[in-house]
Amino acid sequence: QVQLVESGGGLVQPGGSLRLSCAASGIIFRVYAMAWYRQAPGKQRELVAVISSSGSSHYVDSVKGRFTISRDDATNTMYLQMNSLKPDDTAVYYCNANRGGNPIWGQGTQVTVSS
């Protein structure tokens, strides 16, 4: 069964940190490009960060220098380390796996940045 399961979301104060995880099963994880997307209330889903199967990464400008995407092919897990969080980072964060234009999505995890 193909499945992506996110975890690590929660409520954090501005300036705080969170680490999201995405556990994959049912796919050959190492050949997939992996990504984090987010969707805030009333807004379209946007790409946050992507990491290729070879490990190269790219970020949306608004998170550069604050977020770090990584992957562990030995455990089929992707991570998003989020530092210096801002209220604008509040959203549901989704894990995405893509190979050959066939995306797979997780169920999402809520991140709320508020004092």
Task: Give pLDDT tens digits along the chain (115 positions).
Answer: 999 999 999 999 999 999 999 999 999 999 999 999 999 999 999 999 999 999 999 999 999 999 999 999 999 999 999 999 999 999 999 999 999 888 999 999 999 999 9
Could you give the count of Cα atoms lying within 13 Å of 62 in the half-sphere of its Cβ?
11
Q: What single-letter amino acid sits at 96? A: N
Phi/psi zone of residue 88: left (φ > 0), alpha (ψ -120 to 50 degrees), beta?
Answer: alpha
Q: How far apart are CA 63 and CA 85, in angstroms?
A: 9
What are the two backbone dihedrals, phi and then psi, of residue 36, each rounded to the nearest 5 degrees?
-115, 130
CA-atom Rg of the chain in angstroms: 13
Q: How far apart are CA 113 and CA 115, in angstroms?
A: 7
